[in-house]
Amino acid sequence: MCGEGATAGSILHQGKAKTVYATDRADQVLIVFRDDITAGNGQKRAEIPGKGSLTSRISALLFRELERAGVATHFLEERGPAGLLARAARIVPLEVVVRNRAAGSLSQRLGLPEGEPLPRPIVEHYYKRDDLGDPLVNRDHIRALGLASDDVVDRMEAIALRVNDILTARLAAARLVLVDFKLEFGLAGDALVVADELSPDTMRVWDAESGRRLDKDRFRRDWGGVLEGYEEIWQRLSESPFTGNAACGAGADETGAPRTFTTWVRIMPKEGMLDPQGKAVRDGLRALGFTGVADVRVGKMVQLVLTATSEAQARDDARSMAKRLLANPVIEDFSVHVASPGEGSR
């Protein structure tokens, strides 16, 4: 059993929605999700009983999903009804926002109608400073303030896009649209990990059919039904395909007898690389009247059925296969996805 209440030590940080506690291990922290909800950088605040438990559970579920897809996060396990045990991290003072559709401040600043799909995801950086109202910053600002090295910014951006792919697919399986989200990163030891939370407090999630908002915008815009929205997201996520190992020992991949893993290697022409095939397909689609096609890139998908003792091993094997044969590193990038048991090959 690992659900026992952790021996919470001193408070390290009392934020707007969470409290970070020290634990008996210097490399671990306990993050407790409170029922407080704030907007407009704390100008508007309320308490919604039950919210902390939901944001904590949704975060845990999505962190597991990222770990399963090979993205390093700070998540270790769930503790109590609204707590996460996490790797202690030095938080990079930048919030990374990925947007798939226009909404919120982007709509306001650029005059794009809310909900307008963006031709490709937009990545933004915000300087994490409450007293300045978390201003939008660009690479030159980041360098001038020494907030993070170019390399770290590059890596955060690449990981954020990867996370976007994973979460978009995961939410789509629950008939939800991921409009945008915010990530925080931290250094746990030498590793750059996704930290903080992944919940409707930090992402915009719409119902795929009706477009109904289910996230914190309900609070920001006084629409009511905030808790119901969060509940709905939790219900749908927990009922749709998911294989994270329940609360205990989550994140750790169990090894044992060899099993088969259906694994996909997605291979794409490198970013910025001329893709005549994609161009031809794009022109073809436009000729068919699909005027909204802004860009097309054609890659390939290789489906492998692998025998391995753990999911991590299957992923590692597929990666080396991709490096040695399936992709040509001079011209192509690849990503690996190991199917969850319920996830059929389509």
Partner 1 sequence: MKWAVAVFPGSNCDRDAYRAVADVLGDQAVYVRHDASSLLGADAVILPGGFSYGDYLRPGALARFAPVMEAVRSFAEAGGPVLGICNGFQILCEAGLLPGALLRNAGQRFRCQPVCLRVENSHTPFTGRFHAGQVIRMPIAHGEGNYFAPPEVLDELEQQGRIVFRYCDPDGRATPAANPNGSARNIAGICNARGNVVGLMPHPERAVEPFMVSTDGLALLAAVRDWLQATSTSPPDGNSATGGVQGAC
Ligand X SMILES: Nc1ncnc2c1ncn2[C@@H]1O[C@H](COP(=O)(O)OP(=O)(O)O)[C@@H](O)[C@H]1O
Evaluate whether 55 touches 149 at the Cβ level (below 8 Å).
no
Axis crossing angle, helix 51-68 with helix 150-172, rounded to the nearest 10 = 110
- Which of the stretches 92-100, 112-120, 273-281, 284-292 binds partner 1 when contact is defined by CB under 8 A? 273-281
List the beta bridge partners of residue 137: 125
Which amino acid belongs to residue 320?
S
Q: How many residues bind partner 1 (CB under 8 A)?
A: 11
- Least separation in angstroms between CB 222 and ligand X: 21
Task: List the structure tokens of 233.
Answer: 């997201």
Q: Least distance in Å: CB of 243 to ligand X?
A: 24
Q: Which is nearer to partner 1, 169 or 331 (CB)?
A: 331
Looking at the Cβ atoms of 202 and 335, the one nearer to ligand X is: 202
Q: Which residues contact 346 (CB under 8 A, 6 or more apart)?
A: none
d(CA 50, CA 242) in angstroms, rounded, equals: 23
Residue 91, SS3?
Answer: strand
Distance CA 336, CA 232 (A): 30
Q: Smallest gap, in angstroms, from Cβ of residue 140 to partner 1?
A: 24
Q: Note the helical H segments in the chain.
A: 51-68, 104-110, 139-145, 150-172, 217-220, 226-239, 276-287, 311-321
**How distant is the alpha carbon of residue 303 from its chain centre?**
24
Per-position x/- string for 27-56, each x denoting binding to partner 1 as judged by CB under 8 A, each - no binding: ------------------------------
Instruction: Quote the least distance from Cβ 317 to partner 1, whole Å.
Output: 18
Restricting to residues 75-104, name those near ligand X by CB under 6 A: 86-89, 91
Tokens of 34: 């409170």
DSSP 8-state symbol, 21: E
- Hey, is 79 helix, strand or coil? strand
From 6, 8, 29, 66, residue interacting with ligand X (rule: CB under 6 A): 29
Check residue 6 for interaction with ligand X (CB under 6 A). no
Which of partner 1, ligand X, none does residue 195 bind to, with CB < 5 to 8 Å depending on kind? ligand X
Which listed option, ligand X, partner 1, none, makes contact with residue 276 (CB within 5 to 8 Å by class)?
partner 1
Among 51, 57, 64, 74, binds ligand X (CB under 6 A): 74
Structure-token pair, residue 275: 């893709």
Q: Rounded to an integer, what distance in angstroms lies between the CA atom of residue 314 and that of residue 145?
A: 42
Binding mask 304-343 for partner 1 (x = CB under 8 A): ---------------------xx-x-xx------------
Asked if residue 180 binds ligand X (CB under 6 A), the reply is no
Phi and psi of 65, rounded to 5°? -60, -40
Q: Considering only residues 78, 184, 275, 317, which one is a binding residue for ligand X as defined by CB under 6 A?
A: 184
- 301 is a site residue for partner 1 (CB under 8 A): no
Q: Does the protein bind partner 1 through residue 287 (CB under 8 A)?
A: no
Interatomic CA distance for residues 141 and 122, integer angstroms:
18
Q: Is 338 near ligand X (CB under 6 A)? A: no
Binding site for partner 1 (CB under 8 A): 273-274, 276-277, 279-280, 325-326, 328, 330-331
Binding site for ligand X (CB under 6 A): 13, 15-18, 20, 29, 31, 74, 86-89, 91, 184, 186, 195-196
